[in-house]
């Protein structure tokens, strides 16, 4: 695939720490892509109207007419579809430690992105002033993020559209953040301490000893700290900083310098939503159509099969936004649903972990 791959489009916004995981990967492996920049809150007509995709999280990556949801699946697919070559250098560790590297990368990804995992703790360290206009809340943003956790905030009143009083139920409201902060700080510090006293106790530049550059394990380990360290007020000085954890913070800086650069310095082209959608609609599929594994316990229990009309949604957050389409694939790693947009169909792939598929009309509840 690497020689003449179909076009890749990354739908994201640059402040998304999840999107960074993909941007860094594409940069480090020198994989060309275009980016379709998205607003930080809904609506996102480039996805919903142009492609017919209801999933509301960022990032989304298309490769040809295949659309991949969730960074866990996106990274796995890029690994699979772009095997190491001189033009796309490997981010894995050569044998004999190749399997250990793959195992640790997968475990780290599971731990950090899991419900109640380190990512959610990190989000609880965002300073409330990030979302607040002077003297007031920013209800649009808080309302949008409340939707992610299924919280329906009352509509803002037309007479005072910026009133902060109605956002107290949001997970990002100042009161909720203040209540969660102490425990979140302890967990983030423990994570930095773990890295400092293990891999970064001996002055190595990257997690894998002897590696000539960052590997996938560095991407999986670094993104939370890389995100928090650039948000003023997130990490308290003297508690989690470069004085307390010099090896870790030097690594985060070093990683940023290595991974933020595009090869040869050229930025990824920006495409508008309509252009991106016609690029996708006009492309070949990147993968052969997956089959539905008839022996899969979930397929059996839910009465699924190829051609069945289904809904598909994430179960951790953003779960009220469900995609509807035709089930075309189920295997150990993914669900694949064909979704109709105004320019034809795309195949939408979601990882098994953290996603659910149910026949239309059934299983509409969160779990
Ligand atoms: N498990 C997902 C989580 C993605 C996620 O939560 N992304 C955040 C942005 S950093 C998001 O979508 N926030 C709400 C939004 O932008 O609509 C992944 O790995 O891609």
Residue 123 has pLDDT above 50, yes or no: yes
Q: Give the tokens for residue 165.
A: 């009083």
Maximum Cα interatomic distance, the chain, rounded to a whole number of Å = 66
Ranges 154-163, 194-203, 221-230, 240-249: which has the least confidence:
154-163
pLDDT band at 144 (very low <50, low <70, confident <90, very high): confident
- Give the distance, in angstroms, between the CA of residue 286 and the centroid of all CA atoms in the same chain: 20
Q: What is the mean pLDDT of residues 176-200?
A: 97
For a mutational test of ligand 1's pocket, the pick from 25, 58, 117, 121, i.e. the residue with the most ligand atoms closer than 8 A to its C-beta, is: 58
- Residue 221's nearest CA partner among 237, 234, 207 is 207
Q: Residue 112: pLDDT band by 50, 70, 90 thresholds?
A: very high
Q: What is the pLDDT of residue 129?
A: 83
Report the DSSP pairing between strands 309-314 and 8-12: unpaired
Tell how far the Cα of 127 is from the centroid of ligand 1, in angstroms. Answer: 19
Distance 317 CA to ligand 1 centre (A): 8
Tell the residue nearest (CA) to atom 15 of ligand 1.
Answer: 57
- Is a pLDDT exceeding 70 seen at residue 366? no
367 has a pLDDT exceeding 70: no
| Residue 18 alpha carbon to ligand 1 centre in Å | 6
Task: List all residues whose CB is within 6 A of at least one atom of ligand 1.
Answer: 16-18, 56-58, 70-72, 113, 148
Atom of ligand 1 nearest to the CA of 16: 10
Ligand 1 centroid from CA 95, angstroms = 33
pLDDT at site 134: 52
Angle at 27 between CA 26 and CA 32, to 5 degrees: 60
Q: Which residue has the higher pLDDT, 94 or 73?
A: 73
Q: What is the pLDDT of residue 266?
A: 79
Instruction: Please count the other Cβ atoms lying within 10 Å of the Cβ belonging to residue 300.
Output: 12
| Segment 71-99 mean pLDDT | 95
pLDDT above 90 (res 200): yes
Per-residue confidence (pLDDT) for residue 298, from 0 to 100: 97
Task: Dump pLDDT digits (tens) for 288-317.
Answer: 999 999 999 999 999 999 999 999 999 999
CA distance 184 to 263: 36
Mean per-residue pLDDT of the chain: 92
Question: For a substitution probing ligand 1, which of 57, 144, 150, 334 has the most ligand atoms within 8 Å of its CB?
Answer: 57
Report residue 139's pLDDT band, with 50, 70 and 90 as the boundaries: confident
pLDDT at residue number 160: 55
This prediction's pTM: 0.94
Whole-angstrom CA distances from 322 to 231, 268, 314, 319, 331 are 32, 30, 8, 7, 20
Cα(158) to centroid of ligand 1, in Å?
29
Phi/psi for 170 (5° steps) reads -75, 140
Structure tokens at 9: 């489009």
* DSSP assigned state of 292: B
Residues 269-289 have a mean pLDDT of 97
Q: Give the closest residue to 47 by CA, choosing from 286, 316, 288, 321.
A: 321
Atom of ligand 1 nearest to the CA of 59: 20
- Which structural domains are found in the chain, ordered by start? 8-120+179-270 (1.20.1050.130), 288-359 (3.40.30.110)
Atom number of ligand 1 nearest to Cα 41? 17
- Which of 28, 32, 36, 29 is CA-nearest to residue 12? 36
Least confident of 32-41, 48-57, 85-94, 126-135: 126-135
57 Cα nearest atom in ligand 1:
12
Residue 9 belongs to what H/E stretch? strand 8-12
160-178 pLDDT, tens digit per residue, is 555 544 567 788 888 899 9
The mean pLDDT value for 24-52 works out to 97
Range list of H helices, 199-272 = 216-229, 246-259
Query: Region 146-160: what's the mean pLDDT?
Result: 72
């Amino acid at each position: 695939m690497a020689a003449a791959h179909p076009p890749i489009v990354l739908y994201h916004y640059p402040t998304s720490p999840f999107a960074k995981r993909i941007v860094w990967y594409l940069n480090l492996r020198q994989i060309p892509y275009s980016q379709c920049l998205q607003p930080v809150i809904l609506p996102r007509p480039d996805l919903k109207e142009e492609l017919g995709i209801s999933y509301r999280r960022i990032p989304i990556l298309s490769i040809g007419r295949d659309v991949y949801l969730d960074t866990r699946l996106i990274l796995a697919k890029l690994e699979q579809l772009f095997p190491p070559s001189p033009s796309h250098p490997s981010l894995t560790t050569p044998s004999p430690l190749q399997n250990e590297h793959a195992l640790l990368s997968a475990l780290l990804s599971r731990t950090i992105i899991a419900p109640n995992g380190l990512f959610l703790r990190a989000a609880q360290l965002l300073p409330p002033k990030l979302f607040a206009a002077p003297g007031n809340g920013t209800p649009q943003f808080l309302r949008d993020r409340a939707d992610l956790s299924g919280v329906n905030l009352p509509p803002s009143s037309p007479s005072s559209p910026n009133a902060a009083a109605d956002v107290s139920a949001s997970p990002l409201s100042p009161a909720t953040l203040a209540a969660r902060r102490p425990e979140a700080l302890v967990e983030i510090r423990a994570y930095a301490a773990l890295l400092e006293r293990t891999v970064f106790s001996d002055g190595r530049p990257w997690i894998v000893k002897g590696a000539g550059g960052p590997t996938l394990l560095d991407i999986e380990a670094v993104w939370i700290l890389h995100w928090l360290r650039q948000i003023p007020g997130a990490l308290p000085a003297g508690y989690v900083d470069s004085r307390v954890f010099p090896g870790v913070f030097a690594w985060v800086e070093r990683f940023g310098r290595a991974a933020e650069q595009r090869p040869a310095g050229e930025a990824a082209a920006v495409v508008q939503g309509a252009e991106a959608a016609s690029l996708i609609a006009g492309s070949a599929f990147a993968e052969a159509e997956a089959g539905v594994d008839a022996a899969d316990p979930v397929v059996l229990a839910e009465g699924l099969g190829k051609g069945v009309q289904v809904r598909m949604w994430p179960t951790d957050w953003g779960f009220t936004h469900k995609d509807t389409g035709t089930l075309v694939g189920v295997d150990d790693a993914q669900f694949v649903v064909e979704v109709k947009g105004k320019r034809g169909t795309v195949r939408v792939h979601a990882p098994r972990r953290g996603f659910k598929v149910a026949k239309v009309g059934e299983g509409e509840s969160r779990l």
